[in-house]
Structures are given as structure tokens and as C-alpha cells.
Amino acid sequence: MKLMRNPKATHIDFFQLKGLIESNPNACPCNIDMMLERNCKFLVGEWKRLNERMSLGQQILLKNLAKQPQFIVLIIHGDTDNETNVTKFELIDKNGEYITIGYSFEQLKNFITGWYNWANAQ
């Protein structure tokens, strides 16, 4: 499996779309860093570097996505600049609360495998 190992890779900047919706001038698209699907079940992950803040709009989007019955949403604190580093990952529950569920890349891999096995059995 080939992995993206380009720390200089740029991200998409949606700023020029801000203001496009006249009735909601602050509306602006955001991206999602990770998504898996199995049997119409979805696992979404948003990666944040140490001390990187999430915009209010992205928080609202992810919390509303987490409310959907087929979606599991994670916030993963870490990076993939050299090796994959995970210092903590959290689940956003159906009430919009953040619940810490792991502290390492190994624990994240175990969670993803468990999620896949669960979704595959549905």
C-alpha cells in the first residue's frame, strides 16, 4: 500500500467560496481528512496537529454528522509528517460530546479494525 508522505502537500483553501451564499455569507466548505464506508456505515476522521484549532463551522459540521445513525466521527490529534503519530483520538457522540477513546496509532488501528468488522457484520 502506497502512503502519501509529502509534508509539503498543500491543502485545499475554500476561502474564495466564502460569501457565495448571500443569505449566509459566512458559509464556507471544509474538508474531511479520512472516510471509510462499509455496508452504508461511515467512519469519518478529522486530523488535527498539536495546538491546531478547529473552526466553529467544522465543529458544527462534524457534530451534526455524528448525529446521523450511520456515521461514527473521530477527531484524531497527531500528524503523518514522517511516521504516523497519534497522541489522542476522540469520538464525537450523538449528543455532540467529545469522548477520548485512545492515545496511540496502534489503538487507532485497533479501533478502525473493530469498526470495520462491526460494519461488515451488519
Alpha-carbon distance 28 to 21, whole Å? Answer: 9
Q: Does residue 51 register a pLDDT over 70?
A: yes
Which pTM does this prediction carry? 0.85
- Over residues 72-108, the pLDDT tens digits come to 999 999 998 889 999 999 999 999 999 999 999 999 9
10-19 long-range Cβ contacts below 8 angstroms, 24+ apart: none
Q: Does residue 10 register a pLDDT over 70?
A: no
What pLDDT, on a 0 to 100 scale, did the predictor assign at position 4? Answer: 53
